[in-house]
Structure 1
Amino acid sequence: MTAQIAFAAANGIVLGMAVFLVAAGLTLVFGILKVFNFAHGSFFMIGAYIAHAITGQDPSSLPYFLFAAFVAALAVGAMGIATDTLVLRRLSGVANDYTLIATFAILLLCDGATKMVFGQDIYAVYPPAVLDQTMDVGILLTYYSVFIVACGIIVFVLLELGLNRLWFGKLVQTVARDPWMAGVIGLRVQRLKLVSVGVSFALAGLAGGLLVANQSLSLSLGHSYLLLAFNSVIVGGLGSIRGAFVAALIFGLFESFNSLLLPSMPGTVSYMVLIAVILLKPEGLFPERT
């Protein structure tokens, strides 16, 4: 039983870091534009398809795998900039309901376009050979799982340092909190927003490129992660990178132990956590941070 608990905990941490990789861009774009992007999961899926188109079913090496993920991030980031320029910016100042409807329409457009380009086939994608091995640390873990945990931590540290230590991050936070005043003091608000949105979408593409291995690549890939990512953003505190990181870990662990202890009721504990936080601490665990 001890080994099962340790294995569930390890799987929970891996799942939590995978969810955070998806949630990072989602919480960043909310912090900047104050809108939930329903299409985020679809852009994550597009990133996975782009990476697969570059590497194929079996990436030849780790650098090539990382290169494909980087290209996916750039491509999806460019799509995000186009989305902001053509759609989201035009809806600034109107009721959030219209923006939510617009992002849902973008979701349908992305899913339809992906279906036209890549078809409906389900692809099996494997990690590079160097990551497709196991280590024995009392339980068996794959190097790919450790790699995902490391990527999640690296992305978290870079975002925390970038937003709270670098001058550009401080400017972004200023624009997010009071865009009118930021414009008054001479900041180029639209340019800062555009770059920030591009980064948030690029994070979705990067997550798709990194998480495409060891799972079935299909049109439903983005939706499978999106719900947990949304839950992490809400529980962590809207717009809080740190909150999304902690909440993603919490949901990853609860999902893993839920599968161990209540296999016939998947997701039950996570929904209970979500409801409890909304009722007891509706502002989230780490409120009012970008």
Structure 2
Amino acid sequence: MMTFADLALILFNGMAWAAATFLVAAGLTLIFGILHILNFAHGGFFMIGAYIAFTLLQLAGVGGVPLWLYLVVALASGMAVAVLGVLADLAIFRRLRGVEDAYVLIATYALLLVCDGAVKLIWGLNFMSVPTPDELGGAVFLGDAIMPEFALFVVACGLLAFIGLDLLMERTTFGKLIWAVAMDSWMAKLLGIRVGRVLMITVVIAFGLAGLAGGLLAANQSLSPSLAGVFLLQAFGVIIVGGMGSIRGAAIAAVMLGLIESFGTVFLPDYPGILFFVALAAVLLIRPQGLMGRAQVA
């Protein structure tokens, strides 16, 4: 019989999964959900962000890792990957605008392979790890349920990422420019909007969010060249279920799929991830545009 502690732990694990996945999906929502660029390299730049965080912490040479340093390193990782986003936009994404999706898919997958090769060349094939910040090494007890403090930190970061991205897209002038370009770039250009600049800044923000997610989640992962694919499939699933272009839909989908995944881990341990794919298929069959998909950008 399931106890309160068991249920609390399942719900908490689901929220932690949702927050971590949304952190990765945040940048992908901009570049895939709104601008319709199938960026399979997103996971590669998430991985690079995690490795940059590892290197910066190694260079700091401190015994423990205070939380403030961990946050500064995560922000620095995001900024470094954002710079790579500028280069990727100039060299690749700018050339892909207006071409068929198949070519975009091939190009971004090739970029993912480049990221994978660069990580192997610079950091090697060995597994590496980032220490948990000193202030987040403990746990919070809710009755008999044990909740790691770092997981609570991830949940808080996911919530802040949602609030920030939602405010950017719904409450700022630049967010309205992004929507205008996404809905009709030709008309936006006629209205005087510098479409190329808006697209480039959007790509840079998306890459920066990928690097930031890598830095924030580095202590929660074993760093290896296979890290690129750890969250990518889940992130795409969140965007598809939430609805193309909907930040709020992606957040709702992350929570829904996280809880489904958490219950599946408990009740179907021999079939890891099976309920995630069942839920994904069910949503696509019942509501192909996603939970909160916008018809004008679908």
Q: TM-score, normalised by structure 1?
A: 0.97
- Shifted more, 202-211 versus 74-83: the winner is 74-83
Asked whether 1:40 is paired with 2:42, we answer yes
Contact 2:243–2:250, Cα closer than 8 Å, also in 1: yes
Any idea what SS the aligned residue of 1:130 has?
Answer: helix
Question: Which residue does 2:251 correspond to in 1?
Answer: 245
Asked whether 1:66 is paired with 2:66, we answer no
Distance (whole Å) between structure 2 residues aligned to residue 166 and residue 201 of structure 1: 20
Q: For residue 238 of structure 1, what is the amino acid of its counterpart?
A: M
1:97-146 deviation line (CA, Å, top 9, x unaligned)? 00110000000010001100000110122211101111112211121111
Change (3 A) 1:28 1:141: same
Question: Which residue does 1:207 correspond to in 2?
Answer: 213
Question: Which residue does 2:157 correspond to in 1?
Answer: 151
Any idea what SS the aligned residue of 1:38 has?
Answer: coil
Change (3 A) 1:58 1:155: farther
Any idea what SS the aligned residue of 1:212 has?
Answer: helix
Asked whether 1:140 is paired with 2:142, we answer no
Q: For residue 175 of structure 1, what is the amino acid of its counterpart?
A: V
Q: Which runs of 5+ in 2 are unaligned?
A: none
Any idea what SS the aligned residue of 1:135 has?
Answer: strand
Question: Which residue does 1:231 correspond to in 2?
Answer: 237
Asked whether 1:167 is paired with 2:173, we answer yes
Number of matched residues? 290
1:158-201 deviation line (CA, Å, top 9, x unaligned)? 11111111111111111111111111011111001111110011
Contact 1:22–1:204, Cα closer than 8 Å, also in 2: yes
Contact 2:29–2:239, Cα closer than 8 Å, also in 1: yes
Question: Which residue does 2:204 correspond to in 1?
Answer: 198
- Shifted more, 85-94 versus 10-19: the winner is 85-94
Distance (whole Å) between structure 1 residues aligned to residue 63 and residue 177 of structure 2: 42
Q: Which runs of 5+ in 1 are unaligned?
A: none
Any idea what SS the aligned residue of 1:60 has?
Answer: coil
Distance (whole Å) between structure 1 residues aligned to residue 195 and residue 266 of structure 2: 48
Distance (whole Å) between structure 1 residues aligned to residue 47 and residue 235 of structure 2: 14
Question: Which residue does 2:11 correspond to in 1?
Answer: 9
Residue of structure 2 aligned with 1:255, choices 258, 261, 265? 261
1:185-244 deviation line (CA, Å, top 9, x unaligned)? 111110011111100111100000000113211111120111111111111111211111
Contact 2:54–2:129, Cα closer than 8 Å, also in 1: no
Q: For residue 45 of structure 1, what is the amino acid of its counterpart?
A: M
After TM superposition, give the deviation of residue 279 of structure 1 in Å. Answer: 0.7
Residue of structure 1 aligned with 2:25, choices 10, 14, 23? 23
Q: For residue 123 of structure 1, what is the amino acid of its counterpart?
A: M
Question: Which residue does 2:132 correspond to in 1?
Answer: 127
Contact 1:32–1:196, Cα closer than 8 Å, also in 2: no
Distance (whole Å) between structure 2 residues aligned to residue 58 and residue 215 of structure 1: 20
Q: Percent identity?
A: 48
Large movers: runs of 4+ above 3 Å:
56-59
After TM superposition, give the deviation of residue 58 of structure 1 in Å. Answer: 6.7
After TM superposition, give the deviation of residue 28 of structure 1 in Å. Answer: 0.7
Q: TM-score, normalised by structure 2?
A: 0.94
Change (3 A) 1:58 1:97: farther
Residue of structure 2 aligned with 1:90, choices 92, 95, 111? 95
Aligned-CA RMSD value: 1.4
Contact 2:34–2:244, Cα closer than 8 Å, also in 1: no
Contact 1:59–1:65, Cα closer than 8 Å, also in 2: no
- Shifted more, 212-221 versus 229-238: the winner is 212-221
